[in-house]
Amino acid sequence: MGYWSYYFFAKLFLFFGKYIGFNIWPNLLFAAALLIPVRNTPWIWMRQIAATVAGISLLYHDSWLPPLDRVVSQSTNLEGFSLAYAIELIGRFIDIRIVAALAFGYLLYLLLGRRLRMSSFAILGIVFAPLAMPLFNDMAKNNSASAIDTSGISIPKPAPTVAIDDATLNAALKTFHEEESTRRVSFPEKAQGAADFDVILLHVCSLAWDDLDFIGERNNPLLQKFDIIFERFNSAASYSGPSVIRLLRANCGQASHHDLYGPPSAQCSLMQNFERAGFKPQLLMNHDGHYGNFLADARERGGLNVTPEENRGSPVAMRSFDDSPIYDDYSLLKQWSDKQSAEKGVPRALYYNSISLHDGNRLPGSRSGSSLSTYPARVKKLLQDFENFFNHLEKSGRNVVVVFIPEHGASIRGDKMQISGMREIPNPRITQIPVGIKLIGAAFKPEKKPLVLNQPVSYLGLAGLLNAFISQSPFGPKAGQLSEYLQNIPSTPLVSENDALTMMRHGERDFMLSPGSSWVEYETDR
């Protein structure tokens, strides 16, 4: 087997560190093929070439990187990356600590290889490592518990971990989709409702609770201005396309990722429900909507088939990774608001999309070439822009319900299974997003601090709240207490998907399912 033994030792090290997965049978078959003796020199070279290709492919397969078919399907989008952004992404994959550990391991391998038959140990490692992993996890948990209990305070022992098998999780996922397929929220017709207000949906790319925690902005002043905060809102997706479709189909239960790309249903369409209730749907973006076919997804699959409002009259705040302009959020929203004030008419339902926090954005005049380093400044700027917009709306004299809702998180923290900025795995750090509701109007009397909803909800819960507002206006003479509008908000269990992976919370544990594999428990600790 020669130096290929070290290949397996390195993979086992990464596996036990939970940086990659490890599929025992493909690795065992590859090792067995390497043990077959070949003596003819041309054949030796041919086998080495074939083994190199197979080894790289198997390492990629064992990693948490996106499947190759997804990479190929996204090749057109990847071509739009600037050279600087491509270099930045490559740099994120390199962890100096891991490189140093692997280099030290290689030196140790060379020393031991002089006296020991390393291929035998490699085979034993391949066979026994997956079996030893549960024991390794138990030892780590026990050591962690021992480290905590050092203060003399009596800490109750945790309950024993209950084994959960594939059949249990598969049945739970099937039940979830079956139940969600029957859930509906329908807005009242115009004659039945009390729509004396506009609705503004501020759909923001790349902001989760974990991102706010990581950069120290969880207590940002904007969040304190909301009247309602959804503490456990699940975006159910980690990319923009599925997120906009899910939001614009909020009136139905959570569909599977595959079903998102079927024809939209009128009863599920959020904007068609707004039209039914007497609102005029509108679309505004601070970008051109071309990347990732975002605008097409909003129109064709989300049911928002309207002409976008003009945005080129606003100043350019930054440039995207493909050098396309990103317009200033406050200027753009103020421009839209002033136009609506001048054009009195039916209530508006505006869908606004901002990519100001998207990975790869470049700020003009910034010394840093990394979009990760500018992320905190961009978050502060965006939230300040929205706070300024709220102040502007208050001066307009109109009644407005503003919904602040991110598409998904930015994955700024990253974890062992995926680097900072990567969102292929829709884990809770990415999909648990801060959703806030702000009611603006002279007749509305806000509480002293936001009402916080702690139950797990998703888009159907948001549709339920909007339905309650439309049915009984919070600005009218018969408006109830704000807490009354939250009484019947539908909950949604935490399930998130993309086209390759599924994440599901079962009890207090999170599990991940990839194609052709078993469920594995997902741990985000780095």
Dig out the tokens for 279 from the structure: 């609102």
Under DSSP, is residue 71 helix (H, G, I), strand (E, B) or coil? helix
* Contact criterion met (CB below 8 Å) for 214 and 412: yes
Residues 139 and 199 in one domain: no
Residue that finishes a domain, picked among 112, 143, 174: 143
* CATH classification of the domain holding 426: 3.40.720.10
Residues 119, 250, single domain; the answer is no
End-to-end CA distance of the chain: 33
Cβ neighbors of 467 (< 8 A, separation 6 or more) are: 185, 186, 187, 188
Q: Does residue 209 share a domain with residue 119?
A: no
pLDDT at 331: 97
328 within domain boundaries? yes
Q: Is residue 359 part of a domain?
A: yes
Asked if residue 158 belongs to a domain, the reply is no
Q: What share of the chain is helix, strand, coil (3-state, %, to 5)?
A: 45, 15, 40
Map residue 187 onto helix, strand or coil.
coil
Residue 303: count other Cβ atoms within 10 Å of its Cβ.
23
Looking at the structure, do residues 138 and 287 belong to the same domain, yes or no?
no
Report angle CA 217, 219, 221 to the nearest 5 degrees: 100
Question: What local confidence, expressed as pLDDT, does residue 234 receive?
Answer: 98
Final residue of a domain: which of 86, 111, 143?
143
**Domain match, 206 and 112 both:** no
Residue 200's contacts (CB-CB under 8 Å, 6 or more residues apart) are: 348, 350, 352, 400, 401, 402, 403
Same domain for 16 and 117, yes or no, is yes
Residues 197 and 101 in one domain: no
Same structural domain, 85 and 200:
no
Reply yes or no on whether the pLDDT at 336 is more than 90. Answer: yes
Sign of CA pseudo-dihedral 304, 310, 312, 317: negative
Which among 402, 404, 415 has a CA at the least distance from the CA of 444?
Answer: 402
- Tell whether 198 is covered by a domain: yes
Q: Are residues 134 and 68 in the same domain?
A: yes
User: For residue 224, what are the domain limits?
Assistant: 191-495
Average of pLDDT values for 85-102?
A: 75
Cα–Cα distance measured from residue 279 to residue 196, given in angstroms and rounded to the nearest whole number: 10
Shared domain for 215 and 101, answered yes or no, is no
Domain assignment of residue 377, yes or no = yes
Bridge partners of residue 236, in order along the sequence: none
Give the pLDDT confidence score for residue 146 in this predicted structure.
Answer: 39
Assigned domain for 388 exists: yes
Same domain, 81 and 196: no
Q: How confident is the model at residue 81 (pLDDT cuts 50, 70, 90)?
A: low
Rounded to two decimals, what is the model's pTM? Answer: 0.82
- State pLDDT tens for residues 215-244: 999 999 999 999 999 999 999 999 999 999
Is 165 part of any domain?
no
How many structural domains compose the chain? 2
Q: Cα separation of 127 and 138, whole Å?
A: 20
CA atoms lying within 13 Å on the CB side of residue 143: 6
Do 137 and 204 lie in one domain? The reply is no
User: In this predicted structure, what is the pLDDT of residue 152?
Assistant: 33
